Amino acid sequence: MNISYGSTLSLDGLAQLYEHRFMFLLLFLLFYVFVMLSDSLVVYIICSQRSLHRPMYVFVGAVLVNSVVGSSNLYPKLIWDLLEGIPVVLMSRSACLCQAYVSGFVGCASFMLMAAMAIDRYLSVCHPLRYAALMSPTVVTIMLIICWLAPAFIIAGVVALASRLQPCHSRATRLFCDTYTIVSISCWGEERFISEICGLFVTTILILIPIAFVLFSYTRILVLCLQRSRTFASKALKTCLPHVIVFVNYSLSVMFELLHRRVTTSDEARRTIATNVLVLVIPTVCNPVVYGLKVGEIYQKLKKLLHCHR
């Protein structure tokens, strides 16, 4: 088959799953249906219940919308490829760039939204008297716009830089495309060096800085809890725990993926695909479970809604 390096990529990650492809097909299909239904249900509850029209729940809904977009960017393509039963998937370069853009946007926006959520919890616990003024609807709207628009424009620039790179080969051991995939198959040179530096800079701006905000906010909350009564500490930690679980879960998954990219070698295909699967499945499946079961008011509304439809 004559494949042009400039127009087509071959992703051979499915070859590692090929022996058990029907099992993975069923799992990915179940995960995708679960994510879509559970995320949509929680977002519907937040939108339909006026008592949940508060900053914390608005940010929870935004994180779950991100999860829906990210899942829809990856799961359907994987499910279709497994249905076709082809171990090596051919993907046009333009489709790969689009998938890389959406993946990068969703990942970075999720970190920024979790940082916004942490700031909201910090202000609620540490500055309760000023909270209503500091987290007004206008402020929340501006924060949401920044959390979505900043990654949208910055990731567009990163993907645009990657799109200019000249491929040296067309094969990548991945289940899906991201910017790193495009850069890793490109020829070494000044443009690739600039693209990698920009990618590192964007990682710092859109991931590490939000993580710093999150760590600062929850550390301050923890310090305050140690200084106050047990009742105050219990109430504060209860409201923060679901967000901390989601943050730790998402951060560990992404950091593991980033570190694995830097140390992996060509003979570690199974580890690479295992990492891809973990990064895809764990955050998307855990988010609605944590927010649906651990956030008290959402859980009560969810129980009431399901009880009414019996």
Looking at residue 139, what is its pLDDT?
96
Quickly state the pLDDT bin for 102 (edges 50, 70, 90): very high
Cβ within 8 Å of residue 62, ≥6 positions away: 113, 144, 147, 148
Strands 171-172 and 8-11: parallel
- At residue 265, the pLDDT reads 54
* 167: β partners: 186
pLDDT in the model for residue 264: 56
Q: Is the pLDDT of residue 310 over 60?
A: no
Asked if the model's pLDDT at residue 1 lies above 60, the reply is: no
Round to whole Å and give the CA distance between 64 and 286.
11
Banded pLDDT at 79 (limits 50, 70, 90) = very high
All structural domains of the chain: 18-308 (1.20.1070.10)
Strands (DSSP E) along the chain, which ranges? 8-11, 89-92, 171-172
CB 104 within 8 A of CB 64: no
Q: How far apart are CA 177 and CA 1, in angstroms?
A: 22
Give the burial string for 60-82 (b: 16+ CB within 10 Å, else e): bbbbbbbbbbbbebbbebbbebb
Phi, psi dihedrals of residue 270, rounded to the nearest 5°: -65, -40
Burial class (CB in 10 A: 0-12, 13-18, 19+), 8: middle
Q: What is the pLDDT of residue 3?
A: 42
**Token couple for 184:** 């890793």
Residue 32 confidence (pLDDT): 94
For residue 107, pLDDT over 60 is answered with: yes
When pLDDT is cut at 50, 70 and 90, the band that residue 207 belongs to is confident
CA distance 94 to 8: 9
| E strand or H helix that includes residue 101 | helix 93-126
The answer on pLDDT for 152 being more than 80 is yes
Which residues partner with 90 through β-bridges? Answer: 10
Mean of pLDDT over the chain? 85
pTM score: 0.88
Distance between CA atoms of 179 and 208, rounded to whole angstroms?
A: 18
Q: Is residue 20 pLDDT above 70, yes or no?
A: yes
CB contact at 8 A, 41 and 295? no
Paired strand residues for 91: 9
Pick the closest to residue 132 from 237, 143, 140 (CA basis): 140
Evaluate whether 150 touches 111 at the Cβ level (below 8 Å): no
